[in-house]
Every structure is written in structure tokens, then in C-alpha cells.
Amino acid sequence: MNTSINKSNKPKLTKKGQETRTRIIVAAAELMYEQGVAGTTIEDVQQKAKVSASQLYHYFKEKKELVMAVISYQSSRIIGNHSRYLTDLDSFEALYAWRNFIVDIQIKKNCEGGCPLGALASELVETDTEARSEINSSFLEWEDSIRNGLRFMLNREELNSNADPDKLALALLTALQGGLLLTQVRRDPGPIITALDTMLEHIKSFSKDK
Amino acid sequence: MNTSINKSNKPKLTKKGQETRTRIIVAAAELMYEQGVAGTTIEDVQQKAKVSASQLYHYFKEKKELVMAVISYQSSRIIGNHSRYLTDLDSFEALYAWRNFIVDIQIKKNCEGGCPLGALASELVETDTEARSEINSSFLEWEDSIRNGLRFMLNREELNSNADPDKLALALLTALQGGLLLTQVRRDPGPIITALDTMLEHIKSFSKDK
DNA sequence: ATTTTTTTGGAGTGTTAACTCCATTTTATA
DNA sequence: TATAAAATGGAGTTAACACTCCAAAAAAAT
């Protein structure tokens, strides 16, 4: 006899409330990206977002809930940015444009920070089941986006039928993650460049006209 | 006028002292692997290593120093284990034996934990310069070990002269790191298998007899 | 055997960080 | 305009954690 149809029992947010909530998430995301989740205190977030403790706990019942919001924020940012390059990949040039997008970000950031999702993944995967599950979904979505791009190339016969978009998409994503980690540790774009270029070269071996 | 020739002003350790110190490092390494560095308290380490607070601070002046010891412990463990497979790679079979070694560990561990060095890297890289530097050196050594293996194959003419051991070694290491991260997040050996196999297939394209 | 050095026990300290509480102001709704 | 709901300020609480201190036991050096 649940009279409440609403699944969530969250209080409604006013426009102002939404803005404050978003401000908190963005501040938390930046800080956690720079210092890690454990290295970011609620007080840090308060200061950066210019909110009081009661505000923060009004919108998020505990730190873990804020972390979950940060995960979904970072996920949608990444998926959004990358899908601009990955949707309807119509040529190898388009694939290389995606590569350049990734590499350029690293260079612009002096190779600091790594992948926002990868960093969260590594820190939380073994200690927070819920976080792992969310991050896993995000990676799957990301992989899917790459796979669809490759499938598009295959359908356009840029790639021959020996190319397996499932395997190649997953391999590309792993190369990307590993490349970003090494680039971050080395403070040199070399690893992400080599990782992506090697995979792209491999994909090129499935060119139709070869 | 420094009369002390010794670079380090560490007190000498007796055999018993060495054992205790090692016990602390091993306990800390396991805990930090399972729960992260920030997630591991000094008290956790004390209990696992069965030592008192004064013992721990007798051997390590602060937590950071213990972390550095853990980094070098994990590095030498990994380099040691992998070099058994990577030294004098005399065939593709040997390369696949290395692949199997990596994959089997993940399967045995139910895909939990990821890479001990990668996990430390990701957690510490942006907040601890000294740690980043150490971890970077370890990755370089690891990469070197892979490169030497590939060079050996090249010298034996298993690979043709189009193969670039520098690039391939780095690409392999990134694939390994990314593969382990995704495998850890997904709790499925798929990603590490696909990552390594795709890279190995690419390397095979440089076979002499092809 | 005696002195010095190393190792160990364990209680104690100061700080930090997550989270609470309640009053007040602002905004939505009837 | 009156009433309810949401948003905010900020001091306060509690627990955990890194680290200290001093005395005592064990081992090494002379």
C-alpha cells in the first residue's frame, strides 16, 4: 500500500537548489580528480563550492553519495566528449581525430591527472562495490561507443570482415587507459601516443584495400 | 668537513630487526594492495604485522616512508616474477607463456586487486612526487625488461626488421596496465586477455616468415 | 662482565575529518 | 497573503588516525 508513486524520496529541488547541488558536484569532481577521493575532505569541497556544511549534507546524505554523483558526472562528461568523435566514424581520419583529441588534452594538461574515470576506478574498485558497479557500467558504455564507431567503419567497408569490432573496441579502451596511466606517471605524452598509435596501426591492418 | 662517510644515517639493523622490518613491509603491502594506501591505517599494519606502534616508528619515521618501502617491495616482486618469463624470449611460445602467467594470476584472484604497481601509481601519482618518481623508474625497468625480450626475438630473427621493440614494449605495457584495470573493474578476465592477445597478434604481424 | 645499542611495550596526545543540530532566511504553493 | 517546504549559516560532537614518549627487555660490542 505505498501511496507514493515516486521511486525516490528525495525532496524536490528548486532552481537555486539545483545550482547549488551542481556546484558541489563540480567542485568535488575537480578536487577528487586532483587529490583523489580519500585525499579530498568535505571541508575542501565546501570551500571550493562556497557552501556550508549543512548545505552539503542537505544535498548529499554522506560523502559516499557525493562520490557516486561525481562518478556519474565524470562518466557523462567523458562519454559526451568522446561520442562527438566516435559517432559514425566514417574514415581512418576520423579515428585519428579522436586520437588527437585525447593526446592534445594530455599535452595541454602537462600529462597530469590521467583519466578522470580511470582514477576513480582504481581508487574505489576494491573498497566500494556500488562505485565499482557504476564505473563498470560507464566503461561498458564507453566501450560500446567505440565499438559502434568501428562497426560503422566496417559497414562502410573501410574495414574488412576479419576485423572484430568487439575485440578491437575493448583493446582500444585498454590501450587508452594504460596509455593514460603511463603518460601520467611519466609526465610525457609518449605512452598514450604509442599505445593509441599501435592499436590504430593494428586496426589499419584490417583496411579493406589492403 | 663531514666525518661521516655513510650516506644514510639509519641505525644498523640486527637480524631480528631486519625480520621485523620486513614483516611490516609485507603486511603493509598486502593491506595497501587490498584497501589502498589512504585506506590502510598504521594500526591496521601494526595488527597484521604483530608489532607495536613504537616498533613501526622505529623502522619507519612516518607513513610516507613505509609507503616508499612498499613501492620498492612491490616493484622488485613484479620485476622478479616477470623477468623469469621475459629474459631471453626465444619464441612466440615464450611470449604466450608470459601472457598466460599474467592471465592465470587474474583468474586465480577472481580478477580482484589489479596490478600492485598500477594501483599504487594511480593513487599516489598526483599527490606524492617522490612516489611518482620511484614508480616511474619501476615502470621503466619493467618496460626495459619487455623490450629486451623483444630485442632478443628480433636478434634471433623471430621478428623482422619492421618491428620496433621500443614501441612494442611500451605498447605491451600499456595494454597490460589498461587490461588489468578493466579486468579488475569488470571482475572478468576478458579485458586483460583481449588486451594482451590483440597486442601479441599485432607483434605476430612482424613474424619473419610472414 | 660491563657498557652500549637496538628492539619492544603500550599508554598518551593533538589534530583532522565526517557528520549533526537547530535556528534563520529564502522560495514555492495554496 | 498565509503557510509550507526548501535552502542556508555555523557552531558543536565524536571518532579515528598519525605520531610521540619513556621505560624496559634483548642483543651486540668491548
Sort A155 into a burial class: Cβ within 10 Å, 0-12 / 13-18 / 19+.
exposed
Cα B113 → chain centroid: 12
Which residue numbers in chain A have pLDDT < 50?
A: 1-8
Contacts of A190 in chain B (CB under 8 A): 170
Separation of alpha carbons A59 and A52, rounded Å: 11
Separation of alpha carbons A57 and A55, rounded Å: 5
pLDDT score, position B135: 98
CATH class assigned to B13-61:
mainly alpha
Distances from the Cα of A8 to the Cαs of A17, A107, A181, in angstroms? 17, 42, 37
Instruction: Give A16-52 pLDDT, tens digit per residue.
Output: 989 999 999 999 999 999 999 999 999 999 999 999 9
- Looking at 1.10.3210.10, 3.20.20.370, 1.10.357.10, 3.40.640.10, the CATH number of the domain A68-204 comes to 1.10.357.10
Residue corresponding to grid cell 604509442: A194
**Is residue B135 less than 8 Å (CB to CB) from chain A?**
yes
Amino acid at the residue B197: D
| Domain boundaries, given as residue ranges, for chain A | 12-61, 68-204
Nearest Cα to Cα of residue B118 among A108, A30, A126, A163: A126
Residue corresponding to grid cell 586520437: A99
Q: Which nucleotide is nearest to B51 (CA to C1')?
A: C8
Its CATH architecture, for the domain A12-61, is: Orthogonal Bundle (1.10)
Through-space separation of residue B151 CA and nucleotide C4 C1' in angstroms: 55
Q: Which helix (H) or strand (E) holds A122?
A: helix A116-124
pLDDT score, position A11: 64
**Is residue A145 less than 8 Å (CB to CB) from chain B?**
no
Residuewise pLDDT in 10s, chain B (210 residues)? 332 333 345 668 888 899 999 999 999 999 999 999 999 999 999 999 999 999 999 999 999 999 999 999 999 999 999 999 999 888 999 999 999 999 999 999 999 999 999 999 999 999 999 999 999 999 999 999 999 999 999 999 899 999 999 999 999 999 999 999 999 999 999 999 999 999 999 999 999 865
Separation of alpha carbons A72 and A76, rounded Å: 6
**Is residue A207 less than 8 Å (CB to CB) from chain B?**
no
Contacts of B132 in chain A (CB under 8 A): 185
C-alpha cell read off for B122: 594511480
Question: pTM for this one?
Answer: 0.94
CB count within 10 Å of CB A2 equals 5
Sort A147 into a burial class: Cβ within 10 Å, 0-12 / 13-18 / 19+.
buried
